[in-house]
Amino acid sequence: MLALRATRILLSASSGAGPAFRAAPFIANGYVLRNIASKPKFDYRWLQWGSFVTLAGFLAGGTMYMSQDLEKEKRRVNQSFGRPAIGGDFNLVDHNGKPCSLASFRGKWVLLYFGFCHCPDICPEQLERLVEIGDRIALTGETKQTLVPVFLTVDYERDTPDVVAEYVKEFSPNLVGLTGTKEEIDKVAKLYRIYYSAGPKDVDGDYITTKWKIHLPGAAPP
């Protein structure tokens, strides 16, 4: 076994006033063990800050890329599908028994509500709101065009023009009621994406229609 030689303190001449000391290294089993305590430590702080800046850059770049990718996908979907085709003209009968179409409201805004006269609670509440909207807009005078609330029944079996006339007068003289045959109402429902069906009849033959909806087709062409 190789002997371990201890560090020797050697004197050497120096250019200074006093002697200088030099430490010889440890030598053990053929390996040189130097004193590293006196060497400066490696500063890791710049590496930490560099890693943080790099990570922040990657995150910012990834977020920007994802945002651009989502925007491209949104434009692609809009170009593929466009706006849904909802609405169109119709030929029905108003509550006075006169033929009525969307062109009959030329130059006016039409707020169209789908319901039925035997509706117990929802339809009356919605029609009151419908009339109130029209009245408020008329009072503000913010638009030159008149807003006409229109009630369109989907109960073609029971809601004749006379029944509709009695119904709409309970809400407002400005409320227009429309009805028609099954074929005419089915056509309007398809144009405006309305689903409706009659519920089961009771012992008196009464039933509840299960769908209603509000649409604002816009102003009829002048």
Residues annotated in the binding site for Cu cation, as ranges? 119, 123
Distance of CA 117 to the CA centre of its chain: 34
**Residues sharing a CB contact under 8 Å with residue 30, sequence separation 6 or more, in sequence order:** 2
Q: Annotated binding residues, as ranges?
A: 119, 123
Amino acid present at 145: Q
**Residues sharing a CB contact under 8 Å with residue 6, sequence separation 6 or more, in sequence order:** 26
Question: Using CA atoms in the order 170, 180, 157, 162, what is the torsion angle rounded to 10 degrees?
Answer: 40
CA-wise closest residue to 131 among 86, 189, 170, 180:
170
**Residues sharing a CB contact under 8 Å with residue 154, sequence separation 6 or more, in sequence order:** 114, 115, 116, 185, 189, 194, 196, 209, 211, 212
